[in-house]
A and B are shown apart, each in its own frame.
Chain A
Amino acid sequence: MWEQIQSNRTRSIMLVIGMGLILVALGYALGMAFTDNGLAGLVIALVLWGIMNLIALTQGDSILLGMANAKEIKPSDHPRLYNVVEEMKIASGIDTMPKVYIIDDPALNAFATGRDKNHISVAITSGLLQKLNRDELQGVIGHEMAHIKNRDVSLMVWCSILLGTIVILAQYGSRMFIFGGGSRRSSSNEGSGGGAQAILMVAALLLIVLAPLFAQLIYFAISRKREYLADASSAQYTRYPEGLASALEKLGASTEQLRSANQATAPMYIINPFRAKGKAAANLTSTHPPISERVRILRSMNGASYHNYDEAFKQVKGGHVIPPTAIKLDHDETIREASDEGPLATEIGRARETSNALWNMNKYQTVDCDCGVKLRVPPGLKGQEIQCPHCGEIHQT
Chain B
Amino acid sequence: MWIALIVILALVLVLGLWFAGAYNGLVGLRNQVKNAWAQIDVQLKRRYDLIPNLIETVKGYMTHERQTLESVTNARNLAQQLSTSTSVEARAKAEGELSSALSRLLAVVENYPNLKANQNFLALQEELTSTENKISFARQFYNDSVMKYNNQTQMFPSNIVAGMANFKASEFFEVKVEEERQAPKVKF
Q: Counting CB contacts under 8 A, is A79 at the interface?
A: yes
A93 touches B186 (CB 8 A): no
Note all chain B residues with C-beta closer than 8 A to A190: none
Note all chain A residues with C-beta closer than 8 A to B130: 79-80, 83-84, 86-87
A343 touches B138 (CB 8 A): no
Q: Counting CB contacts under 8 A, is B140 at the interface?
A: yes
Note all chain B residues with C-beta closer than 8 A to A79: 123, 126-127, 130
B188 touches A237 (CB 8 A): no
Query: What is the bound-complex CA distance between A83 and B182, given in angstroms?
Result: 20
B19 to chain A, nearest CB (A): 20
Q: Which of B43, B140, B145, B188 contacts A343 (CB 8 A)?
A: B188
B141 touches A93 (CB 8 A): yes
Q: Counting CB contacts under 8 A, is A288 at the interface?
A: no
Across the two chains, which residue of chain A brings its CB closest to B43? A90
Query: What is the bound-complex CA distance between A93 and B127, given in angstroms?
Result: 21
A343 touches B122 (CB 8 A): yes
A90 touches B122 (CB 8 A): no
- Give the contacts of A81-96 with B (CB-CB under 8 A): 83-84, 86-88, 90-93, 95
B110 to chain A, nearest CB (A): 12
Q: Counting CB contacts under 8 A, is B45 at the interface?
A: no
Across the two chains, which residue of chain A brings its CB closest to B140? A91
Query: What is the bound-complex CA distance between A79 and B129, given in angstroms?
Result: 11
B138 touches A90 (CB 8 A): yes
B137 touches A87 (CB 8 A): yes
- Give the contacts of B155-188 with A (CB-CB under 8 A): 182, 185-188
A391 to chain B, nearest CB (A): 20
A93 touches B123 (CB 8 A): no
Query: What is the bound-complex CA distance between A239 and B35, given in angstroms?
Result: 21
Q: Counting CB contacts under 8 A, is A392 at the interface?
A: no
Q: Counting CB contacts under 8 A, is A385 at the interface?
A: no
Interface of A is mostly: helix
With an 8 Å Cβ cutoff, the count of chain A residues facing the other chain is 20
B134 touches A86 (CB 8 A): yes
A87 touches B133 (CB 8 A): yes
Q: Counting CB contacts under 8 A, is B83 at the interface?
A: no
Q: Which of A83, A237, A239, A340 contacts B185 (CB 8 A)?
A: A340
Q: Counting CB contacts under 8 A, is B125 at the interface?
A: yes
A295 to chain B, nearest CB (A): 24
Query: What is the bound-complex CA distance between A84 and B36, given in angstroms?
Result: 18
Query: What is the bound-complex CA distance between A329 and B185, given in angstroms?
Result: 32
Q: Counting CB contacts under 8 A, is B151 at the interface?
A: yes
Note all chain B residues with C-beta closer than 8 A to A342: 125, 129, 186, 188
Which of B35, B140, B145, B188: most chain A Cβ within 10 A? B140
A78 to chain B, nearest CB (A): 10
A87 touches B151 (CB 8 A): no
Note all chain B residues with C-beta closer than 8 A to A337: 182
Q: Counting CB contacts under 8 A, is B39 at the interface?
A: yes
B106 to chain A, nearest CB (A): 10
Note all chain B residues with C-beta closer than 8 A to A90: 39, 43, 134, 137-138, 141
Query: What is the bound-complex CA distance between A95 and B42, given in angstroms?
Result: 13
Query: What is the bound-complex CA distance between A340 and B134, given in angstroms?
Result: 15
Note all chain A residues with C-beta closer than 8 A to B32: 93
A344 to chain B, nearest CB (A): 9
Q: Which residues of A contact B (CB under 8 A)?
A: 79-80, 83-84, 86-88, 90-93, 95, 237, 239, 329, 337, 339-340, 342-343
Extra contacts, 8 of them, besides A83-B127, A83-B133, A340-B187 (Cβ < 8 A), are A83-B130, A84-B130, A87-B130, A91-B137, A93-B35, A337-B182, A342-B186, A343-B188
Query: Which 10 residue pairs of A and B lie closest in terms of their CB atoms, listed nearest first?
Result: A83-B130, A91-B137, A90-B137, A342-B188, A87-B133, A93-B141, A90-B138, A79-B126, A340-B186, A87-B134
